[in-house]
Amino acid sequence: MSNSTRRGNSRGGSRTSATASRAARRPVQSPPPRPARLDLPTSLKQDPRWILLPLRAYLGFTFVYAGLSKVADRSFLDASSPTSMHATLLAVKGQSPIGGLLGPVADHSFAFGVLMALGELAVGTGMLLGLFGRVAAAGGTLISLSLFLTVSWGASPWYTGADIVYAFAFAPLLLGGAGPLSADEWLRNARRRDTGADPVMADRTRRVLLGGITGIGALVALGLASLFRGASPRGATANAHAGGSSGAPPDRTPTPTPTGSAPQSSGAAKGTKILAASAVPVGGAAAARDPKTGDDIYVLQLRPGAYTAVDRACPHQGCPVSFVSASAGFQCPCHSSTFDASGAVTQGPAISGLTKIPVTRSGNDILRA
Ligand code: FES
């Protein structure tokens, strides 16, 4: 190695040691604190209950929406409407395994309707806020099971009805509570923090919190009460007095009138008698039973002498539809599907029309062909 190289190395070595000593004199700077952020994967590992969050949000939103829809829909509490709770109860009474309980409920459908809407709102709010999570989940399970045993009971196959799925969707929240990001958790942590703290302050915090929740609840109840005041229970009362628990659906079928002008058949028609032709009003319908299948049907006479019949089972989930009028057709009380007087679907969720029943007239009899 040459002298110059050695000199260079020696100079370089002294420079390095000077830099090192300057660095040693400089105060050590710690990295700036990173802002706290939600590390979801870590949180999931630490607390698997995070996976309940999407389910809780969905159930909360859906139940609040369902409750508000009932509050906003005046026909829900109007017993004279074919889509009211009263009409729905009577329509599903015959097919429900708890049909015996539905008569008295239908007689007080206004009160039960209000209770149902408030119950759904309470469950939805409880889920969204994570407040009284287990109680809200129990309420949601109860509401879903009652709907499964009534309006969804006719669903075929049974697992296509949504309510049984909702009933089981509440199970994890019923067993595990509301989980993270919930008022329940916050209250629990606050209680833990308060342990050993100034008892007066702790008590004050709890009182402020409970006061706030009660105040918000009272405001919501007042708002709902003013909304409900517009929906008169007179319809329910009138309908109940008119035989609300008799089991007869609230049909708009006009009173049968004599059909003297209807043409008589040649008498060669064959079939089983369904009902007397005179029982079917012109421009209206008469409820009857299909002698072949035992299904509930409507026999219609939309034009004088022109008789048709349709099965009352809604093609969506099997609820019996109600005849409204020749121009308005049929309405399903369960999920509001509508059909024209020929039975063709005019509004879903049903995607197909009512099943047509072949009928003929023989003398004064309507026969099942
Ligand atoms: Fe659902 Fe009729 S049963 S719309």
What local confidence, expressed as pLDDT, does residue 121 receive?
Answer: 93
Q: Are strands 296-303 and 284-289 parallel, antiparallel or unpaired?
A: antiparallel
Q: Are residues 208 and 264 in the same domain?
A: no
What one-character DSSP code corresponds to residue 62?
A: H
Q: What percent of the chain has pLDDT over 70?
A: 69
Final residue before a domain boundary, out of 186, 214, 239? 239
Ligand 1 mean position, distance from CA 151 (Å): 8
Q: Are residues 88 and 140 in the same domain?
A: yes
Range of the domain at 67: 47-239
* Residue 37 lies inside a defined structural domain of this protein: no
What local confidence, expressed as pLDDT, does residue 27 receive?
Answer: 60
Per residue in 77-100, is it b (16+ CB within 10 Å) or e — as a string? bbbbbbbbbbbbbbbbbebbeebe
Q: Which two tokens stand for residue 309?
A: 């019949």
CA 141 to chain centre: 12
- Least confident window among 27-36, 48-57, 85-94, 149-158: 27-36
- Which of 156, 316, 352 is the best mutation target for the ligand 1 pocket, counting ligand atoms within 8 Å of the beta carbon and taking the most? 316
Model pLDDT for residues 78-124, shown as the tens digit of each residue: 877 767 888 888 878 877 888 888 888 888 888 898 899 999 999 99
Count of CB atoms within 10 A of residue 36's CB? 6
- Whether residue 66 is predicted with pLDDT greater than 80 in this model: the reply is yes
Q: Are residues 112 and 54 in the same domain?
A: yes
CATH number, domain of 347, equals 2.102.10.10
Q: Which of 63, 50, 159, 169 is nearest to 116 (CA)?
A: 63
Final residue before a domain boundary, out of 192, 216, 239? 239
* Residue 320 lies inside a defined structural domain of this protein: yes
Q: Are residues 77 and 214 in the same domain?
A: yes
* Residue 14 lies inside a defined structural domain of this protein: no
Closest CA to ligand 1's atom 1: 335
Q: Which two tokens stand for residue 1?
A: 């190695």
Model pLDDT for residues 122-151, shown as the tens digit of each residue: 999 999 999 999 999 999 999 999 999 988
Residue 350 in contact with ligand 1 by CB distance below 6 A: yes
Q: Are residues 104 and 127 in the same domain?
A: yes
Model pLDDT for residues 302-311, shown as the tens digit of each residue: 888 889 999 9
Residues 6 or more apart in contact with residue 127 via CB below 8 angstroms: 56, 57, 59, 60, 63, 133, 136, 137, 140, 173, 178
Average pLDDT, whole number, for the chain? 75
The residue behind tokens 């007239």 is 361
Q: Could you tell me how many residues make up the chain?
A: 369
CA 70 to chain centre: 10
Model pLDDT for residues 225-256, shown as the tens digit of each residue: 565 555 444 333 333 322 333 333 334 333 33
* Residue 124 lies inside a defined structural domain of this protein: yes
The residue behind tokens 């004064």 is 364
Q: Which of 76, 115, 156, 154 is nearest to 333 (CA)?
A: 76
Q: Can you count the helices (H) and strands (E) in the chain?
A: 13, 10
Ligand 1 mean position, distance from CA 316 (Å): 5
Query: Phi and psi dihedrals of 196, rounded to 5?
Result: 90, -10
* Residue 21 lies inside a defined structural domain of this protein: no
Read off the pTM: 0.57
Q: Are residues 298 and 216 in the same domain?
A: no
Residue 155 in contact with ligand 1 by CB distance below 6 A: no
What local confidence, expressed as pLDDT, does residue 196 receive?
Answer: 60
Q: Are residues 109 and 226 in the same domain?
A: yes
Is the CB of residue 147 less than 8 Å from the CB of residue 163? yes
* Residue 96 lies inside a defined structural domain of this protein: yes
Cα–Cα distance between 94 and 332 in angstroms, integer?
15
- Which of 148, 319, 330, 339 is the best mutation target for the ligand 1 pocket, counting ligand atoms within 8 Å of the beta carbon and taking the most? 319
Q: Are residues 105 and 155 in the same domain?
A: yes
Rg (CA), the chain: 34
Q: Are residues 216 and 277 in the same domain?
A: no
Residue 312 in contact with ligand 1 by CB distance below 6 A: no
Q: Are residues 233 and 354 in the same domain?
A: no
Q: Which amino acid is at 368?
A: R
User: Is the bond preceding 358 in cis, omega lying within 30 degrees of 0?
Assistant: no
Cα–Cα distance between 125 and 216 in angstroms, integer?
11
Specify the number of domains making up the chain.
2
Q: Are residues 256 and 217 in the same domain?
A: no
* Residue 180 lies inside a defined structural domain of this protein: yes
Q: What percent of the chain has pLDDT over 90?
A: 18
Final residue before a domain boundary, out of 239, 259, 286? 239
* Residue 5 lies inside a defined structural domain of this protein: no
- Please, which residues bridge with residue 286 across strands? 299
Count of CB atoms within 10 A of residue 324's CB? 20
Three-state DSSP class for 91? helix
Q: Are residues 151 and 202 in the same domain?
A: yes
